Amino acid sequence: MLHGDRTDLLGDVVGGAEETTTGVIRLRSLAEAGKLKYPIIAVNDADTKHFFDNRYGTGQSTLDGITRATNVLWAGKKVVIFGYGWCGRGVASRATGMGAHTIVTEVNPIRALEAVMDGHQVMPSREAAKIGDIFITLTGGLKAISRDHMELMKDGAIMANSGHFNVEIDIEALEDMSDGKREVRPGVDEYPLGDGRRLYLLAEGRLVNLAAAEGHPSAVMDMSFANQALTAEYLARTARNLAPAVYPVPRDIDDEVGKLKLRSMGIDIDSLTDEQQRYLESWDMGT
Amino acid sequence: MLHGDRTDLLGDVVGGAEETTTGVIRLRSLAEAGKLKYPIIAVNDADTKHFFDNRYGTGQSTLDGITRATNVLWAGKKVVIFGYGWCGRGVASRATGMGAHTIVTEVNPIRALEAVMDGHQVMPSREAAKIGDIFITLTGGLKAISRDHMELMKDGAIMANSGHFNVEIDIEALEDMSDGKREVRPGVDEYPLGDGRRLYLLAEGRLVNLAAAEGHPSAVMDMSFANQALTAEYLARTARNLAPAVYPVPRDIDDEVGKLKLRSMGIDIDSLTDEQQRYLESWDMGT
Amino acid sequence: MLHGDRTDLLGDVVGGAEETTTGVIRLRSLAEAGKLKYPIIAVNDADTKHFFDNRYGTGQSTLDGITRATNVLWAGKKVVIFGYGWCGRGVASRATGMGAHTIVTEVNPIRALEAVMDGHQVMPSREAAKIGDIFITLTGGLKAISRDHMELMKDGAIMANSGHFNVEIDIEALEDMSDGKREVRPGVDEYPLGDGRRLYLLAEGRLVNLAAAEGHPSAVMDMSFANQALTAEYLARTARNLAPAVYPVPRDIDDEVGKLKLRSMGIDIDSLTDEQQRYLESWDMGT
Amino acid sequence: MLHGDRTDLLGDVVGGAEETTTGVIRLRSLAEAGKLKYPIIAVNDADTKHFFDNRYGTGQSTLDGITRATNVLWAGKKVVIFGYGWCGRGVASRATGMGAHTIVTEVNPIRALEAVMDGHQVMPSREAAKIGDIFITLTGGLKAISRDHMELMKDGAIMANSGHFNVEIDIEALEDMSDGKREVRPGVDEYPLGDGRRLYLLAEGRLVNLAAAEGHPSAVMDMSFANQALTAEYLARTARNLAPAVYPVPRDIDDEVGKLKLRSMGIDIDSLTDEQQRYLESWDMGT
């Protein structure tokens, strides 16, 4: 099975490099606390990893997981996306592409502005809770959907997580609010609330693209794996000279992955001429 | 006049901060050469500047300039975009949104891959030269369109620059190739070639959004100006303690600009709860 | 000047064929009342006219007119489109393509459903009046924007008409509500209301793509004019044998215009093989 | 299982109304041949059927079927769509929305022009055959993909049919060209050609949305079924007064289905005022 798990064990092979932004944040706080025991390369932060895996991979596979679980029609649905990082951007873009009306919630003002100017509606999550048909969490954080939100949702609302662990939706609160649950389709749990409303939780709140679909397509995982493989080889050569800290993927590895990928797709690109290269590097040419 | 000049004089007010990526590159090479005399803050690199001004501003105003100059129909046109940086992305996205068939040329493999996965066609610029209807340079470099390209273009091809100076299109070569020129509409010069083809250069190769339209809308310049104003105030307070080097805009200024902008649009967003904040910062909570 | 006037005088040349849907509706009611004196061909209903002129032409030129009049940034704006006919579809699609958040109002349930499934928000116009930044009428009818709507609009709201005559916005009511007006940019009248709000009317409510831009691009008018010319020639040959009624454009004229247009763009298409043709026409081949 | 079969048996209940355009074409040729024995209502031609079922239903479910069969990444793929009718439009729009580069082939000049102006690339199918990654037939006809095309395809090309019967791809030719076949994933047959290339046929050339996914979502089939049910009821009342011929769905049934659907989605729309209604119907009001 191809997988898009952004916190997978394979990370250990390349020096414990967590793939999620959440993972990298945690490693850095571990390093700052002086508790990191060996050098780490943040593979997730490679351009050929996070620009592609998190955006195009998660974008497509999240919709795929929800479609396979529910066979819902996306056109005309109000889809609420929690978090406008690379994953949220990808999902929002693909949901728009399927004809949905997209609503984004954010805590970061700059990401919120980007979402607005990309054509999405932005509002506080409690406003969005009242009108959404499908809710997708991609925050990398805790309880993006809380009891307060679920109290406001419409009958029939669908909730899925495609961020990281099964902590982005407060499942404990949902269990507490409802009178039992039943699986209405594989991976779709119906939670009847006392007031007649029914809420639907997909894949028990786990990553819906892994649990209900096949994770990222191989055409996007290949770049992530190439980064991991080339970085592991790099660490094998250099680790003994590196202090315990979180490092970026070397620029030339990242570029090499990009070139290999383009070649595999049969796409040629330009090169800078010497004159163009000199111009970009200089401060005394031109106007 | 609102302006979107990305190399404008105002830069001097805030310590010579050039607004183009090209400008920042040059300042850094000046700093590396030990020739920078005072501290610089690279306002262009502020998130609330380059994410918005370069992408949404240049995206819209470049199409606007070309439309006003030519009244061309975008739907169905083959539009060739040189460079897929923030400006190129913006223009490519808006050209797609107007019904054009977009072709991107790049020298950077990662940007080329992004362009492909965003749905644009990517090919070497000499291939693109043969089929394009409208060519737009956004490279920040020299001679993105050279004589070689112009030799291959179709009769009626239109060329515009929205990158930086009037060096992205090799005008000297065009003048040399053609038998005189005539202005067929304001800002549209027709260059007849010996073989019967006619090429059209807009705004003498200068920034087409400034020369043929009104530059960026005020709704995007306001963020750039807010960054410049707040950064100038910051430099006035701190410059004497800063070594001559190129600095980023302080994070809290960038965020403040984002918050002010959202407020002006009447948009509220969420805040992290204390529990969510602790979760993101920790490495010992959760799974 | 190229023009996109959908009720232009040229109509008379080809037998009084009005170009607007509104015009055709009226001619049909004239015919039903027995008051039509001569045969009419409804050029507006030709596929190569209304599919292209009304959708791609009006779509682009309406945004163009509003941009030239106001230099507004479309990204992130709430754009309210009155009417989801061919013109409304075109404008909604292009507004989405420029990064706007689109809201459609309709009286026809099927068009309203299409708008929803195309990803636009659909709501009653009085709800839309409260939240819109830019309002565009494309109904072909009367007072799409009435006093009731204007009472609800936000300070700074912009109104433009791109449907037909200057009757789609109730200007009389606006004049009555406001304390005088002033032209703040060419084609932009500011109406201060007693309560501090200011509303902006573009081009005195006339077709904004004609009044503030250049109308449809030539690349879309060419098909409309080709239909008019070929139909005029057809009428000159056949009119004396036609009863006074409203007729469609002959199928072969419509197809011919399409073929000519493709050829002018250098685009080749397929032809049916004899076997494919027989298959489509038969009921006794295949499953 | 929800189904999107456009030639299903249920048709018989409502007087043999075939749901495909192909079906309706055949019934009309049967009627013209004097061989139709009873009245037929062409449910497929109802606005609330073909605008939605064929466009939004087929659009989504075709991509869904191909994704489930192959787990292919759509972003960056060259997707060739045969036929730009309602189904083709839907698939092309959704493929664009998933980041694909779309190429349309057509035999009808007007549809070809629409495809161009909607931003798709249009070319003869033999040109497209050389460059496509994924080929999807939606023509309702015979051998849209023939041996000639398969001779030109790249190694790894994927073929799927979402038009009507398994005659749109010439499977016999494919079998003849290849040295045996093997099923590499459920519903994915690999055909090795003598020259080292491998072609992939999905679902044995049957409707891929039915064979590899779940057909149309219920949210689109509900409108089709509502048309069938209300039309069956109408025929039960009126059939004995109708001559054997192919009839459209009565306008008021079509509108009623649209209204019911909007109500089920919680969406309100406007109504015409009496003054607006009179204006639209008159020829003596207004300018």
Helix (H), strand (E), coil (C) string for chain D: CCCCCCCCHHHHHHCCCCCCHHHHHHHHHHHHCCCCCCCEECHHHCHHHHHHHHHHHHHHHHHHHHHHHHCCCCCCCEEEEECCCHHHHHHHHHHHHCCCEEEEECCCHHHHHHHHHCCCEECCHHHHHHHCCEEEECCCCCCCECHHHHHHCCCCCEEEECCCCCCCECHHHHHHHECCCEEEECCEEEEEECCCCEEEEEHHHCEHHHHCCCCCCHHHHHHHHHHHHHHHHHHHHHHHHCCCCEECCCHHHHHHHHHHHHHHCCCCCCCCCHHHHHHHHCCCCCC
Q: State the Cα angle at B126 between B120 and B129, rounded to 5°.
A: 70
CB < 8 Å to B255, chain A = 109-110
Side-chain half-sphere exposure of D141, counting CA atoms within 13 A: 23
- Distance from C-alpha of D183 to C-alpha of A240, rounded to nearest angstrom: 48
Identity of the residue in B75, B96, B117 whose CB atom sits nearest the CB atom of D76 = B117
Look at residue B54 in the predicted model and tell me its pLDDT: 86
Task: Tell me the count of C-D CB pairs closer than 8 A.
Answer: 158
- Distance from C-alpha of C82 to C-alpha of C137, rounded to nearest angstrom: 5
Look at residue A283 in the predicted model and tell me its pLDDT: 57
| Least Cα separation, residue C225 to chain B (angstroms) | 16
Within 10 A of A179 (CB to CB), how many other CB atoms are there?
8
With the C-alpha atoms ordered B43, B47, B49, B50, is the resulting torsion angle positive or negative? positive
Alpha-carbon separation of residue C88 from A168, C91, C98 (angstroms): 40, 5, 15
| Least Cα separation, residue C107 to chain D (angstroms) | 5
Contacting residues for A225 by C-beta, under 8 A, at least 6 apart: none
* Chain B touching partners, 3 or more CB pairs below 8 A: A, C, D
- Are the beta carbons of D217 and A68 separated by less than 8 Å? no
- Are the beta carbons of D99 and B120 separated by less than 8 Å? no
Is the pLDDT assigned to residue A11 strictly greater than 80?
no
Alpha-carbon separation of residue D83 from A91, D27, D88 (angstroms): 29, 21, 5
Q: Please report which residue ranges of chain B form alpha helices under DSSP H.
A: 21-32, 47-49, 58-70, 86-97, 109-117, 125-131, 147-152, 171-177, 208-211, 218-238, 251-264, 274-281
Look at residue B281 in the predicted model and tell me its pLDDT: 79
- Are the beta carbons of A76 and C121 separated by less than 8 Å? no
- Are the beta carbons of B73 and C98 separated by less than 8 Å? no
Q: Is D224 on the interface with A (CB under 8 A)?
A: no
Residue A24 or residue A228, greater confidence: A228
Identity of the residue in B99, B113, B116 whose CB atom sits nearest the CB atom of D119 = B99
Within 10 A of B280 (CB to CB), how many other CB atoms are there?
18
- Are the beta carbons of A76 and D265 separated by less than 8 Å? yes
Identity of the residue in B100, B117, B118 whose CB atom sits nearest the CB atom of D119 = B100
Task: Tell me the count of B-D CB pairs closer than 8 A.
Answer: 35
Alpha-carbon separation of residue B74 from B115, B150, C34, C56, D104 (angstroms): 19, 21, 44, 9, 18
Is the pLDDT assigned to residue D216 strictly greater than 50?
yes
Which residues does residue A48 pair with via DSSP β-bridges, in sequence order? none
Asked if C114 contacts D265 with a C-beta cutoff of 8 angstroms, the reply is: no
Is the pLDDT assigned to residue C168 strictly greater than 90?
yes
Query: Residue type for B78, please?
Result: K
What is the share, in percent, of chain D residues with pLDDT greater than 70?
Answer: 91
Identity of the residue in C75, C100, C121 whose CB atom sits nearest the CB atom of A101 = C121
Look at residue A284 in the predicted model and tell me its pLDDT: 54
Look at residue D24 in the predicted model and tell me its pLDDT: 80
Alpha-carbon separation of residue C171 from C189, C208, C218 (angstroms): 11, 15, 31
Is the pLDDT assigned to residue D17 strictly greater than 50?
no
- Disruptive mutation site among C2, C55, C74 for chain B (greatest number of B CBs within 10 Å): C74
- Distance from C-alpha of B229 to C-alpha of B158, rounded to nearest angstrom: 38
Identity of the residue in B101, B113, B119 whose CB atom sits nearest the CB atom of D100 = B119
Q: Residue B285 — very low, low, confident or very high, per pLDDT cuts 50/70/90?
A: low
Q: Is B117 on the interface with C (CB under 8 A)?
A: no
Look at residue D164 in the predicted model and tell me its pLDDT: 83
What is the share, in percent, of chain D residues with pLDDT greater than 90?
Answer: 78
Chain-centre distance for alpha carbon C279: 38
What is the share, in percent, of chain B residues with pLDDT greater than 70?
Answer: 91
Look at residue C164 in the predicted model and tell me its pLDDT: 83
Nearest residue of C to residue A95, measured between CA atoms: C119
Asked if A78 contacts A92 with a C-beta cutoff of 8 angstroms, the reply is: no
- Distance from C-alpha of C135 to C-alpha of A245, rounded to nearest angstrom: 55
- Distance from C-alpha of C43 to C-alpha of A218, rounded to nearest angstrom: 52
CB < 8 Å to C100, chain A = 119
pLDDT (mean) for D208-234: 93
Judged on CB neighbours under 10 Å (0-12, 13-18, 19+), D16 is: middle
- Are the beta carbons of D281 and C113 separated by less than 8 Å? no
Look at residue B163 in the predicted model and tell me its pLDDT: 93
CB < 8 Å to C118, chain A = 75, 99
Please state which of the ranges A107-116, B145-154, D14-23, D231-240 shows the lowest mean pLDDT. D14-23
Identity of the residue in B112, B276, B283 whose CB atom sits nearest the CB atom of A30 = B283
Is the pLDDT assigned to residue B168 strictly greater than 50?
yes
Q: State the Cα angle at C105 between C100 and C106, rounded to 5°.
A: 140
Nearest residue of D to residue B98, measured between CA atoms: D119
- Disruptive mutation site among A55, A98, A263 for chain D (greatest number of D CBs within 10 Å): A98
Look at residue A282 in the predicted model and tell me its pLDDT: 72
D188-192 and D182-185 strand pairing = antiparallel
Q: Is D96 on the interface with B (CB under 8 A)?
A: yes
Question: How high is the mean pLDDT of chain B?
Answer: 89
Each as own residue / partner, the long-range contacts of residues B122-131 (CB below 8 Å, 24 or more positions apart, any chain) are B122/A267, B122/A269, B123/A267, B123/A268, B124/A268, B124/A269, B124/A270, B125/A270, B125/B80, B125/B82, B125/B149, B126/B152, B128/B80, B128/B103, B129/B80, B129/B153, B130/B154, B131/B78, B131/B103
Nearest residue of A to residue D69, measured between CA atoms: A214
- Distance from C-alpha of D70 to C-alpha of D189, rounded to nearest angstrom: 11
Is the pLDDT assigned to residue C116 strictly greater than 60?
yes
Indicate the Cα dihedral angle D137, D142, D146, D147, nearest 10°. Answer: 140
Look at residue D286 in the predicted model and tell me its pLDDT: 47
Q: Which of C119, A276, C222, C55 is nearest to B168 (CA)?
A: A276
Is the pLDDT assigned to residue C4 strictly greater than 60?
no
Query: What are phi and psi for residue A278, nearest 5 degrees?
Result: -60, -40
Look at residue A27 in the predicted model and tell me its pLDDT: 86
- Distance from C-alpha of A85 to C-alpha of A92, rounded to nearest angstrom: 10
Identity of the residue in B52, B124, B258 whose CB atom sits nearest the CB atom of A109 = B258
Span C204-229, pLDDT tens digits:
999 999 999 998 899 989 999 999 99
Question: How high is the mean pLDDT of chain A?
Answer: 89
Look at residue C284 in the predicted model and tell me its pLDDT: 54
- Are the beta carbons of C48 and D272 separated by less than 8 Å? no
Q: Which of C117, C118, C105, C112 is nearest to C152 (CA)?
A: C105
Helix D86-97 crosses helix A86-97 at what angle (to 10 degrees)?
Answer: 170
Joined tokens for residue B108: 């950077």
Alpha carbon distance, N-terminus to C-terminus of chain D:
56
Query: What are phi and psi for residue B16, nearest 5 degrees?
Result: 80, 15
Which residues does residue C11 pair with via DSSP β-bridges, in sequence order? none
Is the pLDDT assigned to residue C2 strictly greater than 60?
no
B188-192 and B182-185 strand pairing = antiparallel
Helix or strand run (H / E) with residue C41 = strand C40-41
- Distance from C-alpha of A96 to C-alpha of D84, rounded to nearest angstrom: 21
Look at residue B139 in the predicted model and tell me its pLDDT: 95
Span A255-282, pLDDT tens digits:
999 999 999 999 999 999 999 999 887 7
- Are the beta carbons of B273 and A125 separated by less than 8 Å? no
* Chain C touching partners, 3 or more CB pairs below 8 A: A, B, D
pLDDT (mean) for A240-247: 92
Is the pLDDT assigned to residue D68 strictly greater than 50?
yes
| Least Cα separation, residue C168 to chain B (angstroms) | 26
- Distance from C-alpha of D58 to C-alpha of D91, rounded to nearest angstrom: 7
Look at residue A21 in the predicted model and tell me its pLDDT: 60
Look at residue B282 in the predicted model and tell me its pLDDT: 72
Span A44-60, pLDDT tens digits:
889 998 888 888 999 99
Span D158-189, pLDDT tens digits:
999 999 889 999 999 999 999 899 999 999 99
Is the pLDDT assigned to residue B150 strictly greater than 60?
yes
Q: Residue C6 — very low, low, confident or very high, per pLDDT cuts 50/70/90?
A: very low
Identity of the residue in C96, C113, C118 whose CB atom sits nearest the CB atom of A119 = C96
Alpha-carbon separation of residue D84 from A102, C248, D90, D105 (angstroms): 27, 23, 9, 8
| Least Cα separation, residue D122 to chain A (angstroms) | 20
Helix (H, G, I), strand (E, B) or coil at C247: strand
- Disruptive mutation site among D48, D55, D58, D73 for chain A (greatest number of A CBs within 10 Å): D73
Q: Is C52 on the interface with D (CB under 8 A)?
A: yes
Side-chain half-sphere exposure of A43, counting CA atoms within 13 A: 29
CB < 8 Å to B119, chain D = 75-76, 96, 99-101
Identity of the residue in D100, D117, D121 whose CB atom sits nearest the CB atom of B75 = D117
Joined tokens for residue A128: 């969005």
Q: Residue A164 — very low, low, confident or very high, per pLDDT cuts 50/70/90?
A: confident
- Are the beta carbons of B101 and D120 separated by less than 8 Å? yes
Is the pLDDT assigned to residue A138 strictly greater than 80?
yes
Helix or strand run (H / E) with residue C229 = helix C218-238
Span D186-215, pLDDT tens digits:
999 999 999 999 999 999 999 999 999 998
- Disruptive mutation site among C71, C93, C209, C216 for chain B (greatest number of B CBs within 10 Å): C71
Helix (H, G, I), strand (E, B) or coil at A207: strand
Is the pLDDT assigned to residue A18 strictly greater than 80?
no
CB < 8 Å to D25, chain C = 280-281
Span C262-277, pLDDT tens digits:
999 999 999 999 999 9
- Distance from C-alpha of B190 to C-alpha of B200, rounded to nearest angstrom: 5
pLDDT (mean) for D259-282: 92
- Disruptive mutation site among D121, D152, D224, D270 for chain C (greatest number of C CBs within 10 Å): D270
Q: Is B86 on the interface with C (CB under 8 A)?
A: no
Task: Tell me the count of A-D CB pairs closer than 8 A.
Answer: 78
Look at residue D22 in the predicted model and tell me its pLDDT: 65
* Residue the block writes with tokens 């009389």: C172
Is the pLDDT assigned to residue C13 strictly greater than 70?
no
- Distance from C-alpha of C73 to C-alpha of C287, rounded to nearest angstrom: 55
For every residue of B183-194, DSSP letters joined together read EEETTEEEEEBT
Contacting residues for D166 by C-beta, under 8 A, at least 6 apart: D204, D205, D206
Look at residue A28 in the predicted model and tell me its pLDDT: 86
- Are the beta carbons of C94 and B96 separated by less than 8 Å? no
Identity of the residue in D101, D116, D118 whose CB atom sits nearest the CB atom of B119 = D101
pLDDT (mean) for A217-229: 92
Asked if A44 contacts A18 with a C-beta cutoff of 8 angstroms, the reply is: yes
Judged on CB neighbours under 10 Å (0-12, 13-18, 19+), D224 is: buried
Q: Is A49 on the interface with D (CB under 8 A)?
A: no
Q: State the Cα angle at B281 between B280 and B282, rounded to 5°.
A: 100
pLDDT (mean) for D133-149: 96
Task: Give the highest mean pLDDT range of B233-242, C96-105, D274-283.
Answer: C96-105
Which residues does residue B219 pair with via DSSP β-bridges, in sequence order? none
- Are the beta carbons of D280 and C141 separated by less than 8 Å? yes
Q: Is D116 on the interface with B (CB under 8 A)?
A: yes
ipTM: 0.87
Residues C157-190 as b/e (b if ≥16 CB within 10 A, e otherwise) read bbbbbbbbbbbbbbbebbeebbeebeeeeebbbb
- Are the beta carbons of D73 and A94 separated by less than 8 Å? no
Is the pLDDT assigned to residue A1 strictly greater than 70?
no
| Least Cα separation, residue B98 to chain C (angstroms) | 6
CB < 8 Å to D117, chain B = 75-76, 99
Look at residue B165 in the predicted model and tell me its pLDDT: 86
